[in-house]
């Protein structure tokens, strides 16, 4: 289920982001059409010869602790070594081999990760001999590339795909609920996992972003099996790893890939940030079941309205997920921690819900009877027939006389009616509007 990761590394200006854009094409970033969420262009899913994988442009990772350029490149290379299954090492064929290239090469060689060496900016075959110089880096045949014009990128991707690990089949049974705690550093994800596991299984520290390897923790509660997918996973490697916001988003993305339920952890004491919205947007776009856990509720000064006000703020800041339940918890005092797994189970069940076609059509017809579908220049939309075509999330095909007549607002209305009828708390639902003439 987790897709392999390919990282592009190399010193600045060799053409990493040009290559990234070339490789992922004009694919729409998964968060692009989630309102209020910034588009992220350093990470995308793509495929080549039928293999899907993620690509990350390490040059786009902001690393505030890395002051000098050399340090920055080293950190980016290290992130690639830690995270990637295959590394694309990009060099500039016009500039020739530099000391910085040699340093990165040394790190990559020591890591023993598979590396594909691309020699970029060789726009014309007559320039290709410039690639020979790079044999000395010791990564086999350098591949001459023109990221700008596309030359050689097919050869590069062939090699990348050849080196990808074999497909990773689903690790867990269907009846195991996978739940990931996602959120920015320091909101209390590992503390909550500790509280859930009932033991100090993972190290917790006061410094943002210092934790251990990602670990899946299986557990059973009330006869239901779960796997908690931990996302923090940053190794303690030194100062530069702190504050790597983009990097923690990346970890969240990988966890979202593998999970059924995204438990979005917010810091009750600090409120909601842009990064919270970005991460939640990814979870929705990926079609995961979602719930909010407002943690550190013990530090909040409260009266009888505080929870209500905080929930209202969540509704305002996350308008695209009004259906996600909110639970106020404290990892420290364990307040309501016992309700987290039952909540995960409930949203997971809604996420996997199947609705009988006849029932679904009854609800549709009732909805159309109480609010008539929109019309345009004398033609009225007709809802002909609908049926569920997928679960996780529940996805419905809705056949109409002419899909052009559908309005966003009417779609919203139908979604609300479906939610009223069937619950669906904690899960996105999808309506595919199809013309049947
Ligand atoms: P990054 O810093 O490694 O991400 O590099 P960029 O992708 O931003 O590219 C740096 C510069 O090199 C830009 O001006 C690109 O237009 C240019 N460039 C990238 N790839 C090629 C290429 O294949 N041929 C040529 N001639 N220029 C390129
Ligand atoms: P992570 O980076 O999201 O995994 O966050 P951690 O679990 O490492 O917690 C970050 C800090 O917040 C640590 O100092 C925790 O002790 C503290 N913390 C976590 N949960 C709570 C809570 O419910 N209440 C309070 N007061 N502190 C908490």
State pLDDT tens for residues 138-153. Answer: 999 999 999 999 999 9
The per-residue pLDDT for range 330-375, each reduced to its tens digit, is 999 999 999 999 999 999 999 999 999 999 999 999 999 999 999 9
What local confidence, expressed as pLDDT, does residue 170 receive? Answer: 57
Is pLDDT above 70 for 384?
A: yes
CB atoms within 10 A of CB 433: 20
Ligand 1 binding pocket, CB closer than 6 Å: 10, 12-18, 59, 120-121, 123, 146-148
Q: State whether CATH 3.90.1170.50 applies to domain 177-351.
A: no
* Token couple for 256: 């979202």
In the chain, ranges of CATH 3.40.50.300 domains: 5-163, 177-351
Is pLDDT above 70 for 241?
A: no
Between 198 and 11, whose confidence is greater? 11
**Angle, vertex CA 17, rays to CA 36 and CA 231, nearest 5:** 55
* Token couple for 216: 């899946």
Look at residues 180, 223, 187 and name the one whose alpha carbon lies nearest to residue 208. 187
How many angstroms is it from 393 CA to the middle of ligand 1? 40
* Token couple for 104: 């990165």
What local confidence, expressed as pLDDT, does residue 222 receive? Answer: 87
What local confidence, expressed as pLDDT, does residue 209 receive? Answer: 39
Nearest residue (CA) to ligand 1, atom 17: 15
- Helix (DSSP H) and strand (DSSP E) numbers for the chain: 11, 17
Nearest residue (CA) to ligand 2, atom 16: 206
Find the ligand nearest to 194 CA. 2
| CA 212 to chain centroid | 20
Is pLDDT above 80 for 245?
A: no
Mutate which of 7, 9, 15 for ligand 1 pocket (most atoms within 8 A of beta carbon):
15
Rounded to an integer, the average pLDDT of 390-399 is: 94
| CA 250 to chain centroid | 7
How many angstroms is it from 192 CA to the middle of ligand 2? 8
**Angle, vertex CA 257, rays to CA 117 and CA 8, nearest 5:** 15
How many angstroms is it from 187 CA to the middle of ligand 2? 6
What local confidence, expressed as pLDDT, does residue 25 receive? Answer: 77
Instruction: Please state, in angstroms and rounded to a whole number, the distance separating the CA atoms of residues 87 and 5.
Output: 9
Find the ligand nearest to 336 CA. 2
Is pLDDT above 50 for 34?
A: no
Residue with tokens 């027939």: 385
The ligand 2 atom at the shortest distance from the C-alpha of residue 191 is 7
Instruction: Say if residues 146 and 93 touch (Cβ distance below 8 Å).
Output: no
What local confidence, expressed as pLDDT, does residue 43 receive? Answer: 74
How many angstroms is it from 385 CA to the middle of ligand 1? 51
Structure confidence at residue 313 as a pLDDT band (50, 70, 90): very high
What local confidence, expressed as pLDDT, does residue 202 receive? Answer: 44
What local confidence, expressed as pLDDT, does residue 66 receive? Answer: 56
Instruction: Say if residues 20 and 55 touch (Cβ distance below 8 Å).
Output: yes
Look over the chain and give the mean of its residue pLDDT values, rounded to a whole number.
85
Rounded to an integer, the average pLDDT of 187-205 is: 72
CB atoms within 10 A of CB 74: 17
Is pLDDT above 80 for 204?
A: no
The per-residue pLDDT for range 103-135, each reduced to its tens digit, is 999 999 998 899 999 999 999 999 999 999 999
CATH superfamily, domain at 357-435: K homology (KH) domain (3.30.300.20)
Instruction: Say if residues 230 and 190 touch (Cβ distance below 8 Å).
Output: yes
Instruction: Say if residues 262 and 236 touch (Cβ distance below 8 Å).
Output: no
What local confidence, expressed as pLDDT, does residue 199 receive? Answer: 53
Most confident of 23-27, 217-221, 235-239, 356-360: 356-360
The ligand 2 atom at the shortest distance from the C-alpha of residue 330 is 23
Does the beta carbon of 188 lie inside 6 Å of ligand 2?
yes
Between 379 and 45, whose confidence is greater? 379
Between 236 and 279, whose confidence is greater? 279
What local confidence, expressed as pLDDT, does residue 348 receive? Answer: 97
Is pLDDT above 70 for 5?
A: yes
What local confidence, expressed as pLDDT, does residue 69 receive? Answer: 67
Does the beta carbon of 148 lie inside 6 Å of ligand 2?
no
The per-residue pLDDT for range 58-74, each reduced to its tens digit, is 887 666 555 666 677 88
Helix (H, G, I), strand (E, B) or coil at 275: helix
Look at residues 48, 113, 244 and name the one whose alpha carbon lies nearest to residue 252. 244
Nearest residue (CA) to ligand 1, atom 10: 13
Is pLDDT above 70 for 227?
A: yes
How many angstroms is it from 124 CA to the middle of ligand 1? 15
What local confidence, expressed as pLDDT, does residue 233 receive? Answer: 45
Between 336 and 212, whose confidence is greater? 336
The ligand 1 atom at the shortest distance from the C-alpha of residue 147 is 23
Percent of the chain topping pLDDT 70:
84
Structure confidence at residue 203 as a pLDDT band (50, 70, 90): very low
Instruction: Say if residues 119 and 97 touch (Cβ distance below 8 Å).
Output: no
What local confidence, expressed as pLDDT, does residue 67 receive? Answer: 60
How many angstroms is it from 61 CA to the middle of ligand 1? 17
Residues with Cβ within 8 Å of 238's Cβ and at least 6 positions away in sequence, in order, are none
At the top level of CATH, which class does the domain 5-163 belong to? Answer: alpha beta
Does the beta carbon of 275 lie inside 6 Å of ligand 2?
no
What local confidence, expressed as pLDDT, does residue 59 receive? Answer: 80
Nearest residue (CA) to ligand 1, atom 19: 15
What local confidence, expressed as pLDDT, does residue 62 receive? Answer: 61
Percent of the chain topping pLDDT 90:
58
The ligand 1 atom at the shortest distance from the C-alpha of residue 145 is 23
How many angstroms is it from 279 CA to the middle of ligand 1? 30
Q: In what order do the strands lie in the sheet with 51-57?
A: 43-48, 51-57, 5-9, 86-92, 115-120, 143-144
Nearest residue (CA) to ligand 1, atom 12: 15
């Amino acid at each position: 289920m987790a897709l392999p990761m390919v990282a592009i590394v190399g010193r600045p200006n060799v053409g990493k982001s040009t290559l990234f854009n070339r490789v992922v094409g004009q694919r729409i970033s998964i968060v692009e059409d989630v309102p209020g969420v910034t588009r992220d262009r350093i990470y995308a899913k793509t495929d080549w010869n039928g293999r899907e994988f993620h690509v990350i442009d390490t040059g786009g990772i902001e690393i505030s602790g890395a002051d000098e350029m050399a340090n920055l490149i080293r950190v980016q290379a290290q992130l690639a070594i830690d995270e990637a299954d295959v590394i694309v090492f990009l060099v500039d064929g016009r500039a020739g081999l530099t000391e910085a290239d040699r340093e990165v090469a040394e790190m990559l060689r020591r890591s023993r990760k598979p590396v594909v060496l691309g020699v970029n900016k060789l726009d014309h075959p007559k320039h290709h001999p410039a690639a020979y110089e790079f044999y000395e880096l010791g990564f086999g045949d350098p591949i001459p590339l023109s990221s700008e014009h596309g030359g050689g990128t097919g050869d590069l991707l062939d090699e990348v795909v050849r080196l990808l690990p074999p497909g990773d089949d689903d690790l867990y049974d269907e009846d195991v609920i996978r739940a990931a705690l996602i959120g920015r550093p320091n909101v209390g994800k590992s503390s909550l996992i500790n509280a859930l596991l009932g033991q100090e299984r993972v190290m917790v520290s006061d410094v943002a972003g210092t934790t251990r390897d990602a670990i899946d923790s299986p557990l059973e509660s009330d006869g239901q099996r779960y796997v908690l997918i931990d996302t923090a996973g940053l190794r303690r490697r030194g100062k530069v790893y702190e504050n790597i916001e983009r990097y923690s988003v990346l970890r969240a993305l990988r966890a979202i890939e593998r999970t059924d339920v995204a438990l979005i952890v917010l810091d009750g004491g600090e409120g909601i940030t842009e990064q919270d919205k970005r991460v939640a947007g990814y979870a929705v776009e990926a079609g995961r079941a979602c719930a909010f856990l407002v943690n550190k509720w013990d530090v909040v000064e409260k009266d009888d309205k505080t929870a209500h006000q905080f929930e209202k703020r969540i509704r305002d800041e996350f308008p695209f997920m009004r259906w996600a339940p909110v639970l106020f918890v404290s990892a420290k005092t364990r307040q309501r921690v016992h309700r987290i797994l039952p909540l995960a189970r409930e949203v997971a069940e809604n996420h996997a819900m199947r609705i009988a076609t006849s029932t679904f059509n009854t609800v549709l017809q009732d909805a159309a009877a109480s609010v008539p579908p929109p019309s345009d220049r004398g033609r009225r939309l007709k809802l002909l027939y609908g049926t569920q075509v997928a679960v996780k999330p529940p996805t419905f095909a809705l056949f109409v006389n002419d899909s052009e007549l559908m309005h966003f607002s009417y779609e919203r209305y139908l979604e609300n009616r479906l939610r009223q009828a069937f619950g669906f708390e904690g899960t996105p639902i999808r309506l595919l509007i199809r013309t049947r003439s």
